Amino acid sequence: MPYAYLVRCKDGSYYAGWTTDLKRRLFVHNKGCGAKYTRSRLPVELVWWQEFAEKGAAMAQEAALKKLSRAAKEELVQNFKLEMRRSSDG
């Protein structure tokens, strides 16, 4: 399944991407073989993701993420953390 995702870089900036394998993509980013943007900002931390049925939808979401302001990305990440806590609490 394709995913759109956000990682937070060591310098506090965000990078948006898409992948079919989140675990592998995070490994590649942190190995320094991912996107040029993240190579000088390691390590990165996966802070948000969304699964899609089709690659095109994940790519469209990536494009939309890249257009968001920093404040909007931070709000998205905070809401995602809350959602994840709620779902793990039962």
Q: Is the whole model's pTM more than 0.85, yes or no? A: yes
**Tokens 């506090």, located at residue:** 12
What is the residue type of 56? G
CA 80 to chain CA mean position, Å: 11
- Tell me which residue range forms the domain holding 83: 3-57+64-89
Q: How many domains does the chain have?
A: 1
Q: What is the pLDDT of residues 4-14, one digit of tens each?
A: 999 999 999 99
State pLDDT tens for residues 19-48. Answer: 999 999 999 999 999 899 999 999 999 999
CATH number for the domain harbouring residue 51: 3.40.1440
Cβ atoms of 44 and 15 closer than 8 Å: yes
